[in-house]
Amino acid sequence: MAKEKTTEIKKEEATTEAEKKVVVPKTPKKKVISGILSIEATFNNTKVLFADKAGNTLFWSSAGSLGFRGAKKGTPFAASKVGDVIGSKAAILGVKDADVMVLGVGSGREPAIRAFMAHGIEITSISDSTPVPHNGPKAKKPRRV
């Protein structure tokens, strides 16, 4: 077996490498005054997407992409963190107002909107686009708790 090469990094070098990895938000390429905020709140996850009025996606985030795993992705706390991330990105971009489209019946519907509004962005309208079956397939049986 060949001996593997190991390199030791001094303490000073390690801190400078960690400082280089800090993400600094870029200056926005274009100013967006208003946009559309789409929130998909399922029982397992919360996904938030921000697009301009033409429908072009500007940025998105989800509870899973923020590091929440398993059952924690569907919690209201995770949804509020997702809304906070999207709100800060929108504030950097210069967004003044947004229309909100909510999809799904998960517990992250309201916390995501409240965290987004905390960044000073006005909500002009909220529409619920949750798909409702018109007597489609048989529903799941209720849980026995």
pLDDT in tens, the chain (145 residues): 556 655 555 555 544 444 444 444 555 567 788 999 999 999 999 999 999 999 999 999 999 999 999 999 999 999 999 999 999 999 998 899 999 999 999 999 999 999 999 999 999 999 999 988 898 999 889 999 8
pTM: 0.74
Q: Where are the domains of the chain?
A: 30-128
pLDDT score recorded for residue 22? 44
Strand partners, 57: 51
Residue 139's pLDDT is: 87
- Pick from 65, 3, 69, 57: which is nearest to 32 by CA? 57
| CATH code given to domain 30-128 | 3.30.420.80
pLDDT of residue 26: 59
Nearest to 42 by CA among 81, 2, 5, 73: 73
CA–CA dist 126, 39 (Å, integer): 11
Q: Are 27 and 94 spatial neighbours (Cβ–Cβ below 8 Å)?
A: no
Residue 5 has a pLDDT of: 57
